[in-house]
């Protein structure tokens, strides 16, 4: 599709680098920006720049945060005796949305996937173990909220070998989440129940 | 949905100001940006800022352009004896995509719509009439490529009253485009044929 302007061409190319945005959608977004005031585009761009520049990773749980320690880790009303282990921040947000869980989190930053060359050392597993060891007295339970895929099961198995020796009980979210399903797309009710009806982890 | 960060909140809000992007898609785009290098977000934002700041409207046809006169108006290989009148730049691009038309364009910037308070004075109609008058000798035909809606028909009728007295023949794109349909979403073949098989405009 020939575009009337190099400037538009570049802006369209920029939008198509985002997931799920093709050339036609990108053009629609660009023409929308052109219909608005210049200040709208400036505010839009600035919000993204501020976000990308200012965002931090919580040094405790690896959640995204505006501050060195995130809003959940610094919330004194939350239950410090339980940690929910998730693959990524999207899954953390999905569980928060259910309002069924008031403990802490630990974001792994991925799951073990030999196919993609992701091993335990690439994930925030050491920091989880250190965290559990440091809080050995008050820590009662670790909940595995990992998508029930083959890679997810492998990750849970690997983690269980590290966590069970610490004398902390280990559970996994209930299988209300369909097999092979993605946590992120599960409806809030099912996901909330799966946290409540979590089952003790059994070594296989 | 509570977000872990004000910075993310603002970036999500920024994306949701764009058409067709809801909160969930916006969050997905923001998290995608966070997974990329900072330089990616900077380039993305800069492309939009450059585009919004630098883009001009062609002083002849009102197409979008990097220069005071657009790439089509300055292209000497194009046929200056025929002008295709379109509602907006998207429709111009859609016709260019068919590669069936090698004449000039005139972008109205909308269509007459009493419901939305858009009258002839809000559109680039005066500049079209002046342009046709100035080129009275060499101008042979004006093609109306306006979506066949009620507002479109009203606009074509209004324009016909201005153009026919100039002794320039007036045509409308063939009705291969379905009634009530949007030009922009018509497939290239149909739209291309509708330009070739255009029919002389008859006063009703």
Return d(Cα B28, Cα B1) in angstroms, integer: 13
> What is the pLDDT, as a whole number, of residue A189?
73
Which residue among B44, B50, B70 places its CB closest to the CB of A17?
B44
pLDDT of residue B194 exceeding 90: no
The DSSP symbol for A184 reads G
Residue B198 pLDDT class (50, 70, 90 cuts): confident
Residue B185 pLDDT class (50, 70, 90 cuts): confident
Mutate to test the interface with B, among A3, A20, A44 (most CBs of B within 10 A): A44
The answer to whether A5 contacts B43, with C-beta atoms less than 8 Å apart, is no
Q: For chain A, which ranges sit under pLDDT 70? A: 1-2, 175-181, 203-204
The DSSP symbol for A178 reads P
> What is the pLDDT, as a whole number, of residue B177?
65
> What is the pLDDT, as a whole number, of residue A142?
94
Q: In this structure, are strands A103-107 and B169-172 parallel, antiparallel, or unpaired?
A: unpaired
The answer to whether B49 contacts A42, with C-beta atoms less than 8 Å apart, is yes
Instruction: Classify burial at A93, counting beta carbons within 10 Å of its beta carbon; exposed 0-12, middle 13-18, buried 19 or more.
Output: buried
CA A62 to chain B, closest CA, distance in angstroms equals 11
Q: Which two tokens stand for residue A45?
A: 């761009």
**Over the stretch B35-80, which tens digit does the pLDDT of each residue have?**
899 999 999 999 999 999 999 999 999 999 999 999 999 999 999 9
The answer to whether A51 contacts B33, with C-beta atoms less than 8 Å apart, is yes
ipTM score: 0.76
**Over the stretch B3-18, which tens digit does the pLDDT of each residue have?**
778 999 999 999 999 9
Mutate to test the interface with A, among B24, B34, B48, B71 (most CBs of A within 10 A): B48
Return d(Cα B86, Cα B93) in angstroms, integer: 10
The answer to whether A51 contacts B30, with C-beta atoms less than 8 Å apart, is yes
> What is the pLDDT, as a whole number, of residue A108?
96
> What is the pLDDT, as a whole number, of residue B79?
94
Could you tell me which residue, A90 or B204, shows the higher pLDDT? A90
Mutate to test the interface with A, among B10, B11, B38, B98 (most CBs of A within 10 A): B11
The answer to whether B8 contacts A51, with C-beta atoms less than 8 Å apart, is yes
CB atoms within 10 A of CB A151: 18
Q: Which of A68-77, B96-105, B118-127, B166-175 has the lowest mean pLDDT?
A: B166-175
The answer to whether A27 contacts B53, with C-beta atoms less than 8 Å apart, is no
> Residue B49 belongs to what H/E stretch?
helix B38-54
The answer to whether A63 contacts B4, with C-beta atoms less than 8 Å apart, is yes
pTM beyond cutoff 0.95: no
> What is the pLDDT, as a whole number, of residue B203?
67
How many CA atoms lie within 13 Å of A167's alpha carbon, on the beta-carbon side? 6
CB atoms within 10 A of CB A165: 9
Return d(Cα B69, Cα B56) in angstroms, integer: 9
């Amino acid at each position: 599709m020939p575009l009337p302007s190099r400037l538009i061409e570049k802006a369209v190319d920029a939008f198509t680098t985002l997931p799920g945005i093709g050339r036609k959608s990108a053009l629609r977004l660009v023409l929308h920006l052109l219909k608005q005031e210049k200040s709208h585009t400036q505010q839009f761009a600035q919000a993204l720049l501020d976000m990308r520049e200012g965002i931090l990773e919580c040094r405790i749980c690896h959640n995204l945060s505006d501050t060195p320690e995130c809003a959940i880790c610094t919330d004194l009303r939350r239950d410090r005796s339980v940690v929910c282990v998730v693959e990524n921040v999207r899954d953390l947000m999905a569980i928060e949305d259910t309002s069924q869980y008031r403990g802490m989190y630990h974001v792994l930053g991925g799951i073990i996937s030999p196919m993609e060359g992701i091993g335990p050392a690439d994930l925030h597993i050491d920091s989880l173990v250190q965290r559990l060891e440091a809080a050995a007295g008050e820590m009662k339970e670790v909940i595995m909220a990992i998508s029930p895929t083959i890679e997810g099961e492998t990750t849970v198995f690997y983690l269980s070998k590290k966590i069970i020796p610490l004398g902390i009980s280990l559970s996994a979210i209930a299988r209300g989440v369909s097999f092979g399903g993605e946590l992120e797309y599960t409806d809030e009710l099912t996901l909330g129940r799966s946290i409540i009806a979590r089952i003790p982890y059994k070594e296989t």
